[in-house]
Amino acid sequence: MIGFKNKRIAVWEGIEGLSSAKYLKGKGAKVTILDRKDGEDYLKNLNQYDFIVRSPGVKPNLLKDVNQAKITSQTKLFFDLCPCPIIGVTGTKGKGTTSSLIYEMLKKDGQDAYLGGNIGKPPLDFLDKLSPQSIVVLELSSFQLIDLNKSPHIAVMLMTTSEHLDWHKDIKEYVDAKRNILRFQKAGDFAVINKDYPASNESDMETSAKIFQISRERVGEQGCFIEGNKIVVNRDGRREDIILTDEILLPGRHNLENVCAAVMVALISHVKIPTIVSVLKTFKGLEHRLELVREINSVRYYDDSFSTTPETAIAAIEAFKNPEILILGGSSKNSDFTELGRVISSSSNIKAIIGIGVEWERIKKSIKYHVSSIKYIAGLKTMKEIVQKASEIASKGDVILLSPACASFDMFKNYKDRGEQFKREVKKIQ
């Protein structure tokens, strides 16, 4: 499907759709933008087009009445047209951080690297810049993978549990979609698989590639692992110590899994160990994801506004041994806060919690008060008040952590707005 001149192609509205439309128009195609705002019948007569470019948010079963040979996606187009090796990264959590780490390591090594997919640019935006010597890192969601019929040269399957069950019909479909990142690999390809979670661990059966494991629970024969306070690599009977874990700037035990994956991919891609170490000592993480905003009067402020589930808040809470002042709560995603409550109740370093939003009452009920010596603060209405109160009660050595465990729509436009407001107020502190 290489020639687009004068082809009639339909694409969906949205960031990726507009990118696809721009690329295809540039190749001479006659492009129609599909927008659900145009009414319920906006999907009528799709068979009149030569091709239909599905957007990640559109379920394939919405297009069951369309000739399936006509349906593609930006991801599928890119895999068909890309002239260079692709590194694909998927997982329930950590794929943005891991993709960014890999990209930074490749760039620092002097390679002609590009970052795209869910993070960075839609990949068709840079397709015409690529040469056979380039290398592309793609963050791939289950939405992008569900109908993919090619796999990357290096496939990374991170921690995979369950998510997006409002979109997928069940967890089997979700995990099955993820496994397309491995399913079409060949013997000359590489797979990097997290062994600490059943769904990702069992995915090694889906690939013909050479497999490397990652784990922070146990050391294996082939892969990258946490051993005590070190990151180590075992490869073809040779052991290499990479870095001490306390030298890594990126905070959080959970991020060590992402670091192991990035290290393994970098080594497969011939990046030298000193280059890998240099990136690990300086990479701060992604915006709104356990991002260190500022340290003032020996108090550190972290923006983890991307945390919209109890699981991500737990990972953030467990990332620090220092006394913590948590900012928790927001609008509802019908989450179960039982485990979050248990973690808070059994934690010895949570000093105070500022509860915000409509979900704070449910979170509070999940915490066993008799186990806890935590100060609870509620009723604050603006981010200015929240940050002021947190800084008032903070002492030297404390961590102030915005990791809400909830959506943001009751008080903010979205998680980015929540994080931006937090950072703005923190930067005003004298």
- Asked if residue 321 and residue 340 are part of one domain, the reply reads yes
Domain that holds residue 233: 82-282
Residue 342 lies in a domain: yes
- Asked if residue 160 and residue 137 are part of one domain, the reply reads yes
What is the model's pLDDT at position 218?
92
What DSSP letter does each residue of 351-411 carry, written as one string? EEEEE-STTHHHHHHTS-GGG---EEE----SHHHHHHHHHHH--TT-EEEE--SSB-TTT
Spatial CA neighbour of 335 closest among 314, 304, 305: 314
Residue 3 lies in a domain: no
- Asked if residue 20 and residue 134 are part of one domain, the reply reads no
Torsion of CA 317, 306, 397, 389, to 10 degrees: -110
- Asked if residue 335 and residue 242 are part of one domain, the reply reads no
- Asked if residue 113 and residue 256 are part of one domain, the reply reads yes
pLDDT tens column, 224-245: 999 999 999 999 999 999 999 9
- Asked if residue 103 and residue 69 are part of one domain, the reply reads no
Q: What is the CATH number of the domain that holds 142?
A: 3.40.1190.10
Residue 1 lies in a domain: no
Q: At what angle do helices 254-268 and 273-282 cross, to 10 degrees?
A: 150
Q: Which of 46, 75, 104 is the last residue of a domain?
A: 75
What is the model's pLDDT at position 41?
76
- Asked if residue 211 and residue 186 are part of one domain, the reply reads yes
Q: Which of 75, 100, 117 is the last residue of a domain?
A: 75
Residue 178 lies in a domain: yes
CA distances, 392 to each of 297, 298, 308, 352, 429 (Å)? 12, 13, 26, 12, 11
Residue 2 lies in a domain: no
pLDDT tens column, 260-291: 999 999 999 999 999 999 999 999 888 899 99
Residue 332 lies in a domain: yes
Low-confidence ranges of the chain (pLDDT < 50): 1
- Asked if residue 369 and residue 263 are part of one domain, the reply reads no
- Asked if residue 421 and residue 273 are part of one domain, the reply reads no
Q: What is the CATH number of the domain that holds 331?
A: 3.90.190.20
In the sheet that holds 71-73, the strands lie side by side as 30-34, 8-12, 51-54, 71-73
What is the model's pLDDT at position 371?
57
What is the model's pLDDT at position 212?
98
- Asked if residue 154 and residue 48 are part of one domain, the reply reads no
Residue 297 lies in a domain: yes
- Asked if residue 367 and residue 253 are part of one domain, the reply reads no
What is the model's pLDDT at position 166?
56
Residue 121 lies in a domain: yes
Q: Which of 282, 301, 327 is the last residue of a domain?
A: 282
- Asked if residue 277 and residue 296 are part of one domain, the reply reads no
And the tokens for 93?
Answer: 């959590």
Q: What is the number of structural domains in the chain?
A: 3
